[in-house]
Structure 1
């Protein structure tokens, strides 16, 4: 049996993390001592490791809850159900990467558009671009083509 600090240390998380997971129904101590200390078993430690690994690959708390329910009742679920969850998460990640690439491209264009000099920001091309409804950015950096990104 492990006390909360021991289990937290063993899994390299803070005790508050275990309390948080307990509050959200992901993890519960197997028992409490007469003085109220949370006590965890090896099975609880395995559950915590499962939660942490699922979190590391991007699953949300509600998704982890669903995965845990599958883990507890494996015989009632098909492997395809679990794969479906992973494929859905993968599609979300790919969509987010695409969004981040758009952000990156736009930020690069904004950065290239600004001279970055010590002058007043009254005519800053970045601010002008953000204030404008135009999709093109006026470029002030040498080498930019015709004042566009």
Structure 2
């Protein structure tokens, strides 16, 4: 099959397929008599494997290690697969904790908004908006509502 067909079958962009070839994740295809790249079913399977790993947010280095493990019978290398998945799981859990903290910060910041978006007679522009006041204060290095919430027990 041609690269466009491979792209359509896997949902992977043509330029990404070429990048995977250049980086050694995907072996280069044979060339047909007319010079076109001729991808085999094995390319489709390997590319689908890479795509799935990337959907799990694995790095290209980790994908390369997993591919090497697929191509080996070395017990030591195969044993490293568990560690690789465990490390990825730890990274995902750390990002989840970070995202929860971010959610708390945004909730605290949103609480500064009274929902009324009109100018107060004695407040000019951003001074009338609690959210903007907090963001300006934080930009000046002052404490802000969104970070105070994380420091409270």
TM score, norm. by length of structure 2: 0.78
Task: Could you tell me which runs of 5 or more consecutive residues in structure 2 were left unpaired when the two chains were aligned.
Answer: 120-124, 147-153
Inter-CA distance 9–33: structure 2 relative to 1 (3 Å threshold):
same
TM score, norm. by length of structure 1: 0.79
1:76 offset after TM fit, Å?
4.3
Deviation digits for residues 49-96 of structure 1, max 9, x if unmatched? 110111111101111111111111133435431111000000000000
CA RMSD of aligned residues (A): 1.9
Inter-CA distance 79–24: structure 2 relative to 1 (3 Å threshold):
closer
Cα separation, 2, equivalents of 1:14 and 1:87: 29
Matched with 2:143 is 134
Matched with 1:21 is 20
Contact 2:109 2:145 in 1 (8 A): no
Task: Could you tell me which runs of 5 or more consecutive residues in structure 1 were left unpaired when the two chains were aligned.
Answer: 138-149
Select which of 127, 134, 144 maps to 1:122. 127
Residues 39-58 of structure 1: pairs in structure 2 closer than 5 A = 39-58=38-57
- Between Structure 1 and Structure 2, which shows a larger proportion of helix residues? 2
1:34 offset after TM fit, Å?
4.4
1:36 offset after TM fit, Å?
3.3
Partner SS, residue 113 of structure 1: coil
Inter-CA distance 45–77: structure 2 relative to 1 (3 Å threshold):
farther
Cα separation, 2, equivalents of 1:4 and 1:72: 23
Partner SS, residue 65 of structure 1: helix
Partner SS, residue 94 of structure 1: helix
Identify which of structures 1 and 2 has the higher relative contact order when contacts are C-alpha pairs closer than 8 Å and 6+ apart.
2
